[in-house]
């Protein structure tokens, strides 16, 4: 596992978003009873459609975070699962605990109720918990689709929370007025156009029940997401800003990737879309596999999805305390099946073994993902590769490698000038790419090579 000093150095610290210290954005938590429209409101306020929204209660299970801006004021939005005090299940209790932790981190809480039914006994129980949390509260009456319901919403003043902000999150009614009041109630914060250092994004993906959320919780040292032995517990991507050795980064937990025919409900379908979108906005994907099952075709498919999203890839074999598969065999399969050839780390979320190596390994990949290689070094390598294996020949003409230059980064993108691109074969192109990976330590990093004829 390495010595204790190395483990201590790489222990992440979660950045408290609710703090109003200089440079931090205030946090607004959206809280309420299940199925009152919290995620729809989250999507509307954030101007995005990241949260899975469905008519079934309990779709949101974890805290989700997104940046938002209104009238030049930047803030963080926190979506939470519905709090149902009467739900006796372990998952229901974890969801409620997650939501209340979100309240503790918030500078302002939007208490959302459904105007068609409020105030229910469940609403009143949630309100009682919020009052005990001693956080600034704003009452949001949702599903106010017409003037008649707006009049009904004003009856909720009896709850003693002051103004009732009547909105329809689905149709956008009253959202501007709500945002005006929201930013007015926020503590002082920096403007949204303040330049900030770019924060690397690392997402955790893989098939269901391999321990993705357990790894995230173990890395953070807290129950950040709901963990359950039933596959499919996580449904939305969960963004968590942390600090490692003085450097900030974002960890993203995602729903388990399934094959299309294995999705039993619409919610799972949209969860898959959100998971893939999370990969597309990440720099590095930590693809988690289960050591007790070895490297499966589904794991290789997850590696392939990350590659198609132009995301650097690290294969993480979890549950190493329960089984130790042959790593040489796994590396061989990766080299034959994956163009990116991701490096491998092993760990156990249960015992903590190997966890301290995951983030440093991912950050090394992120550095290579954003690195630039000098034109001189590239063309020196190109000459040596042309000598090692001359280009393919067609009739009397042979492919000649003329010039190689890097034209972009994140991912590394190159332009290769040749005498005639029609002479380039798929096999020779793959060979060149693999040799360049070896030469410049780019295993696990997507590499794009544009081949053009130089005249």
Q: How big is the chain, counted in residues?
A: 455
Of 128, 186, 179, 138, nearest to 162 by C-alpha is 138
Cα(152)–Cα(162) distance, integer angstroms: 15
- As a whole number of angstroms, the distance between CA 124 and CA 127 comes to 5
In terms of domains, do 324 and 181 share one? Answer: no
Q: How is the beta sheet containing 238-244 ordered, strand by strand?
A: 13-14, 238-244, 247-253, 201-205, 284-290, 312-318, 344-346
Q: If residue 166 lies in a helix (H) or strand (E), which one and from where to where?
A: strand 164-166
Distance CA 87, CA 55 (A): 18
DSSP letter (8 states) at residue 392 = P
Q: The tokens of 352 are what?
A: 């903590």
Answer yes or no: do 361 and 399 share one domain. no
| One domain, residues 284 and 362 | yes
Q: Per residue in 345-357, pLDDT tens? A: 999 999 999 999 9
Per-residue model confidence as pLDDT tens digits over 149-163: 888 888 898 888 889
Whether pLDDT at 224 is above 80: no
Structure tokens at 405: 């230059």
Residues 335 and 429 in one domain: no
pLDDT of the residue at 187: 78
User: How far is 210 from 189, CA to CA, in rounded Å?
Assistant: 40
pLDDT over 50 at 193, yes or no: no
Number of domains in the chain: 3
89 and 126 inside one domain: yes
pTM: 0.60
**Kind plus residue range of the DSSP H or E element containing 99:** helix 90-105
- Give per-residue burial for 148-179: e unless 16+ CB within 10 Å, then b: ebbebbeebeebebeebbbbbbeeebbbeebb
The reported pLDDT for the residue numbered 7 is: 53
What's the rounded Cα separation, in Å, for the pair 140 and 166? 6
Evaluate if residue 189 carries a pLDDT over 90: no
Contacts of 389 (CB under 8 A, 6+ apart): 428, 431
Banded pLDDT at 329 (limits 50, 70, 90) = very high
Residues 361 and 379 in one domain: no
In a domain, 46, yes or no: yes
User: Are the beta carbons of 80 and 38 closer than 8 angstroms?
Assistant: yes
CATH number for the domain that contains residue 90: 3.40.50.300
Report the alpha-carbon angle 125-130-131, nearest 5: 100
Q: Are 323 and 291 in contact (CB under 8 A)?
A: yes
Terminal C-alpha separation, the chain = 55
Q: Is residue 36 part of a domain?
A: yes
Are 159 and 301 within one domain?
A: no
Residue 368 reports pLDDT greater than 80? yes
Query: Over 60: is that where the pLDDT of 113 sits?
Result: yes
For the stretch 56-104, pLDDT in tens is 344 344 557 777 778 777 888 888 888 887 777 777 777 788 788 888 8
Q: How far apart are CA 234 and CA 228, in angstroms?
A: 9
Residues 386 and 362 both lie in one domain: no
Domain of 446, in residue numbers = 375-453
Average pLDDT, stretch 313-317?
96
């Amino acid at each position: 596992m390495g010595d204790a000093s190395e483990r201590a150095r790489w222990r992440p610290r979660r950045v408290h978003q609710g703090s109003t210290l200089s440079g931090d954005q205030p946090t607004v938590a959206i809280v309420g009873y299940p199925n009152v429209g919290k995620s729809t409101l989250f999507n509307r306020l954030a101007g995005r459609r990241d949260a899975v929204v469905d008519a079934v209660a309990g779709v949101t299970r974890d805290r989700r975070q997104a940046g938002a801006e209104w009238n030049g004021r930047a803030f963080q939005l926190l979506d939470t699962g519905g709090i149902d005090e009467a739900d006796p299940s372990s998952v229901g209790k974890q969801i409620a605990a997650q939501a209340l932790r979100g309240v503790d981190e918030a500078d302002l809480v939007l208490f959302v109720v459904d105007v068609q039914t409020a105030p229910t006994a469940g609403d009143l129980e949630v309100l009682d918990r919020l009052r005990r949390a001693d956080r600034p509260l704003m009452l949001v009456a949702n599903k106010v689709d017409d003037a008649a319901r707006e009049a009904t919403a004003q009856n909720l003043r009896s709850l003693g929370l002051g103004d009732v902000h009547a909105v329809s999150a689905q149709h956008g009614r009253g959202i501007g007025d709500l945002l005006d009041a929201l930013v007015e109630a926020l503590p002082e914060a920096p403007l949204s156009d303040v330049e900030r250092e770019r924060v690397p994004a690392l997402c955790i993906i893989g098939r269901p029940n391999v321990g993705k959320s357990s790894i995230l919780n173990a890395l953070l040292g807290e129950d950040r997401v709901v963990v359950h032995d039933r596959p499919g517990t996580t449904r939305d991507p969960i963004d968590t800003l942390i600090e490692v050795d003085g450097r900030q980064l974002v960890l993203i937990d995602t729903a388990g990737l399934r094959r299309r025919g294995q999705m039993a409900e619409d919610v799972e379908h949209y969860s898959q879309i959100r998971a893939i979108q999370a990969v597309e906005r990440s720099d590095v994907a930590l693809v988690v596999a289960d050591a007790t099952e070895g490297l499966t075709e589904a794991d290789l498919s997850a590696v392939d999805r990350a590659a198609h999203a132009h995301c650097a890839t690290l294969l993480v074999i979890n549950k190493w305390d329960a089984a130790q598969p042959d790593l040489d065999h796994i590396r061989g399969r990766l080299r034959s099946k994956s163009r990116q050839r991701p490096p491998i780390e092993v760990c156990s979320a249960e015992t903590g073994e190997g966890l301290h190596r995951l983030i440093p390994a991912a950050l090394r990949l992120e550095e290579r993902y954003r690195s630039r290689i000098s034109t001189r070094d590239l063309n020196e390598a190109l000459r040596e590769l042309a000598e090692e294996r001359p280009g393919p020949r067609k009739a009397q003409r042979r492919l000649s490698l003329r010039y190689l230059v890097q034209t972009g980064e994140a991912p590394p993108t190159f332009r290769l000038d040749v005498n005639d691109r029609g002479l380039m074969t798929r096999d020779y192109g793959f060979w060149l790419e693999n040799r360049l990976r070896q030469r410049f330590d780019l295993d696990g990093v997507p590499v794009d090579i544009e081949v053009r004829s130089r005249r």
